[in-house]
């Protein structure tokens, strides 16, 4: 078992990890930048160490400062949370080389899943359906033309070294393709120093469905799926479990494919295998694996009753998986919404401010994961996530009703947040019917943004 854990993160996830560690009797070390000296994670940890100036690259991304903080406090382990250094294989290796326990999969597993081409190969090797496209890098235009037979149009040309939506071109017909392919190679070389390209079929209307897995390096289990189709600029805003779109047979196939992939790569800790689900074709395709705990993990915790962060800490401490697959059952329906310091009435402009009065919702089936407290000054240097409101009920309909009830109790004084967005979405007929896809929200916002200017009461 781990004895003293350093949390290399901030915000709500640092608070979440500290809580799980303390529940297990593990001592906690927070790290913080100059901008976070009064942050909640600093207040509730057993110890806290300043690791530098506000800019993330000088503090939360500063590997040397974090390793020194671990050495100075006698921590035996490091949890990276999500974002920052969480999927940095070199950091995972450096933690291990310093004789510390890394809470998460090995640097090699992170590296394999972090490269789109090797991740796709691993998925194919595990019998996980992948989006039709090239098997890794395309050697040249001749091979690219052969790949088109599988993908058809539209087709995506992606830089192998790209990421976060960068280095992507879409060709809608052969003429566009012949022009775009050489340009994409030249651009990728200029932008990333690597001209490698791969190709993928564009699935225009799909749901984002992902499977939570837990592995101990030898064996792996799944904790069912989450659907995160409501996205704005590729950022999830509303996540739920289970997905209403899947038949029991397809859910079974999907979840087992994720377990096969986790076993294939010797996965250790909590991870997520992400898929696109094409309703029309009733097929799912692997997109990527996130080798860390995710923002939306609480929806899975609500339907399964499993503390995923605590399980990750136990596994890192050397325990084998405690849960067998038959012992993991899903019950009811859970929804999470992300309360960001963004003003939906002003095209989601960021709103760093000071929290005034704070009224947090409660009662049955309501959970509020956050780092807020009255008087907290939200720094402008990091992402805008303030809180996650998670609700659980017997059915999806009851969960939406409970979401509206909890949102109506919530008051974050002095701040503009995304709360009005979720009150409006909860009333929308398509959302209520679950008739959404990954591009749905952006279209909806074009016609509904006026309704978000006030703070409507339900």
Q: Do residues 207 and 438 make contact, with C-beta atoms less than 8 angstroms apart?
A: yes
414 forms part of the interface with other proteins (CB under 8 A):
no
What would the two tokens of residue 440 be?
């749905």
130 forms part of the interface with other proteins (CB under 8 A):
no
Give the gyration radius of the chain's Cα atoms: 22
380 forms part of the interface with other proteins (CB under 8 A):
yes
Selection from 326, 293, 298, 325 nearest residue 241 by Cα: 298
- Footprint of other proteins on 233-292 (CB under 8 A): none
Place of tokens 């592995």: 215
CB of 54 to other proteins, least distance (A): 5
Cis peptide before 130 (omega within 30 of 0): no
384 forms part of the interface with other proteins (CB under 8 A):
yes
Nearer to other proteins, 182 or 380 (CB): 380
Nearer to other proteins, 190 or 450 (CB): 190
Stretch that binds other proteins, among 47-55, 60-68, 180-188, 441-449 (CB under 8 A): 47-55
DSSP secondary structure string, 224-263? EEEEEEEEETTEEEEEEES-TT--HHHHHHHHHHHHHHHH
53 forms part of the interface with other proteins (CB under 8 A):
yes
With CB under 8 A as the contact rule, the residue among 195, 317, 350, 434 that binds other proteins is: 350
Nearer to other proteins, 54 or 132 (CB): 54
Q: How far is Cα 212 from Cα 221, in angstroms, rounded to an integer?
A: 9
Could you give the 3-state DSSP secondary structure of residue 315? helix
Stretch that binds other proteins, among 6-14, 103-111, 362-370, 382-390 (CB under 8 A): 382-390
CB of 422 to other proteins, least distance (A): 19
60 forms part of the interface with other proteins (CB under 8 A):
no
What residues are labeled active site?
292
Nearer to other proteins, 172 or 346 (CB): 346
CB of 359 to other proteins, least distance (A): 23
DSSP strand E in 142-247: where?
A: 155-163, 166-171, 197-201, 207-216, 220-232, 235-241
Stretch that binds other proteins, among 96-104, 153-161, 379-387, 447-455 (CB under 8 A): 379-387
Could you give the 3-state DSSP secondary structure of residue 175? helix
Nearer to other proteins, 35 or 103 (CB): 35
Q: Do residues 335 and 403 make contact, with C-beta atoms less than 8 angstroms apart?
A: yes
With CB under 8 A as the contact rule, the residue among 341, 403, 415, 424 that binds other proteins is: 341
CA end-to-end distance (rounded Å), the chain: 47
> How many residues touch other proteins (CB under 8 A)?
14
Measured in residues, the chain has a length of 458
Nearer to other proteins, 321 or 371 (CB): 371
Nearer to other proteins, 57 or 322 (CB): 57
Q: Do residues 236 and 229 make contact, with C-beta atoms less than 8 angstroms apart?
A: no
Stretch that binds other proteins, among 51-59, 95-103, 290-298, 434-442 (CB under 8 A): 51-59
With CB under 8 A as the contact rule, the residue among 32, 267, 382, 422 that binds other proteins is: 382
Sheet harboring 4-7: ordered strands across?
47-52, 27-33, 4-7, 77-79, 101-102
375 forms part of the interface with other proteins (CB under 8 A):
no
Say how many CA atoms lie within 13 Å of 362 toward its Cβ. 3
Q: Do residues 172 and 152 make contact, with C-beta atoms less than 8 angstroms apart?
A: no
Stretch that binds other proteins, among 116-124, 146-154, 257-265, 349-357 (CB under 8 A): 349-357
With CB under 8 A as the contact rule, the residue among 35, 209, 403, 412 that binds other proteins is: 35
Q: Which residues bind other proteins (CB under 8 A)?
A: 35, 53-55, 341-342, 349-350, 352, 380-384
């Amino acid at each position: 078992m781990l004895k003293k854990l350093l949390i290399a993160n901030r915000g709500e996830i640092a608070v979440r990890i500290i809580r799980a560690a303390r529940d297990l009797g593990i001592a906690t070390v927070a790290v913080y930048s100059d901008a976070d000296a009064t942050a909640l994670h600093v207040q509730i940890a057993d110890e806290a160490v300043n690791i530098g100036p506000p800019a993330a690259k000088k503090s939360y991304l500063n590997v040397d400062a974090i390793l020194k903080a671990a050495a100075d406090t006698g921590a035996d382990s490091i949890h990276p949370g999500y974002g920052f250094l969480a999927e940095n294989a070199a950091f995972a290796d450096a933690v291990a080389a310093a004789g510390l326990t890394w809470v998460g999969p090995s640097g090699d597993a992170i590296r394999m899943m972090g490269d789109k081409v090797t991740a796709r190969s691993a998925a194919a090797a595990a019998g996980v359906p992948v989006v039709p496209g090239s098997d890794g890098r395309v050697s040249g235009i001749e091979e690219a033309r052969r790949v088109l037979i599988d993908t058809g149009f539209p087709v995506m040309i992606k830089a192998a070294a790209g990421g976060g939506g960068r280095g992507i071109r879409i060709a809608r017909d052969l003429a566009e393709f012949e022009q775009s392919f050489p340009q994409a190679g030249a651009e990728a070389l200029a932008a990333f120093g690597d001209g490698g390209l791969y190709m993928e079929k564009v699935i225009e209307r799909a749901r984002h469905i992902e499977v939570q897995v837990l592995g101990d390096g030898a064996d792996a289990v799944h904790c069912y799926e989450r659907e995160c189709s409501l996205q704005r600029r590729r950022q999830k805003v509303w996540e739920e479990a289970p997905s209403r779109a899947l038949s029991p047979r397809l859910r079974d196939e999907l979840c087992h494919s994720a377990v096969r992939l986790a076993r294939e790569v010797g996965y250790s800790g909590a991870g997520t295998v992400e898929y696109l689900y094409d309703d029309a074709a009733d097929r799912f395709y692997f997109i990527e694996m996130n080798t860390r705990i995710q923002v939306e993990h609480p929806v899975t915790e609500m339907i399964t009753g499993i503390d995923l962060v605590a399980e990750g800490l136990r596994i890192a401490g050397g325990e084998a998986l405690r849960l067998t697959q038959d012992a993991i059952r899903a019950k009811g329906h859970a929804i999470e919404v992300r309360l960001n310091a963004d003003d939906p009435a002003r095209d989601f402009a960021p709103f760093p401010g000071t929290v005034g009065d704070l009224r947090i919702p409660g009662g049955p089936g309501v959970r509020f994961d956050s780092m807020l407290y009255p008087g907290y000054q939200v720094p402008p240097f990091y992402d805008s996530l303030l809180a996650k409101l998670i609700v659980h009920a017997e059915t999806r309909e009851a969960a939406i009703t409970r979401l509206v009830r909890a949102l109506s109790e919530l008051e974050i004084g002095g701040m503009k947040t995304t709360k009005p967005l979720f009150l409006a979405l909860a009333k929308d007929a398509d959302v209520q019917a679950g008739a959404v896809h990954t591009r749905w929200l952006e279209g909806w916002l074009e016609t509904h943004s006026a309704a978000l200017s006030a703070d409507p009461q339900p």
